Structure 1
Amino acid sequence: MMPQLVTVRVRRPGRRTIRVWIPVLPVVLVLSPILVLVAVGVVVACLMYQVSAVRAFGTGWRIFWALPGTRFDVEQGGMALLVSIR
């Protein structure tokens, strides 16, 4: 299943917690012209390093579809960052 929502929460000592919800599909649609340039760059890199471009895109697609349910928690000192992908 394609990721639908990314939730980012930043907790800082002595300040309010910041929460941001980012819908994935609208962001991908807005950034699609840049994604086309990235795809061309990946194909050029695959040709330079003699890697199958089809296999590289297939692997990237599988990783993208496996992202829902992933959580990243980072804490350092009093600051904490949580990224949750649904």
Structure 2
Amino acid sequence: PCLWQVKVALTLLKGDKDILCIAGTGMGKILGFWIPLLFQVNSIQLVVTPLNLLGKQNTMSLAKAGIRAIAINAETATAANFSVSATL
């Protein structure tokens, strides 16, 4: 990871600030948000993506790493998907 990705991850792990990460396409913004998931097993991380496809890709990549994830969009916004926090 790049230094700025580590800074994003450390700030998220510290938990005392909200994060807005602005970087160009393909710069690796999502890695800064994924790193904390490795250290906070029973946490919920909300990452907003501008495209349904990005949400789906992120969900599949996290699943390959053994991290539970769900992409919420118009098709998947069901009561069952919003109750996922009850299982943590």
Sort the TM-score into its range (normalised by shorter chain). Answer: under 0.3
More strand by share: 1
Greater C-alpha radius of gyration: 1
